[in-house]
Amino acid sequence: MGKIGDYSRRQIREVNGRKGIKLIRMDWHINIVSTNDWGVGVAMREEDLEVALKVVIVGDGGVGKSSMIQRYCRGTFTRDYKKTIGVDFLERQIEIDGEEVRLMLWDTAGQEEFDAITKAYYRGAHACVLAFSTTDRDSFLSLHSWKLKVENECGEIPTIIVQNKIDLMDQCVVGPDEAELVARALGCRLMRASVKEDVNVGAVFRALAARCLSDMRRDDAATENSLPPCITPVIGTFTNHNSNGTILLRPTKHRPGGKKKNVFKNACRIL
Say which amino acid occupies 127.
Answer: A
Dump pLDDT digits (tens) for 156-211: 999 999 999 999 999 999 999 999 999 999 999 999 999 999 999 999 999 999 99
Domains of the chain and any CATH numbers: 13-48+233-269 (no CATH), 51-214 (3.40.50.300)
Alpha helix stretches (DSSP H) within 39-189 = 65-74, 115-122, 137-141, 143-154, 176-186
Of the chain, the end-to-end C-alpha distance in Å amounts to 14
Please tell me the predicted confidence (pLDDT) of residue 255.
45
CA–CA gap between residue 72 and residue 74 (Å, rounded): 6
CA–CA gap between residue 270 and residue 21 (Å, rounded): 7
Dump pLDDT digits (tens) for 229-247: 655 444 444 444 444 443 4
For the chain, residues with pLDDT lower than 70 are 1-49, 81-86, 109-118, 224, 226-271
Cβ-based neighbours of 33, under 8 Å, separated by 6 or more: 4, 5, 41, 42, 43, 44, 237, 238, 247, 249
CB distance 13 to 25 below 8 Å: yes
Please tell me the predicted confidence (pLDDT) of residue 229.
61
Please tell me the predicted confidence (pLDDT) of residue 219.
81
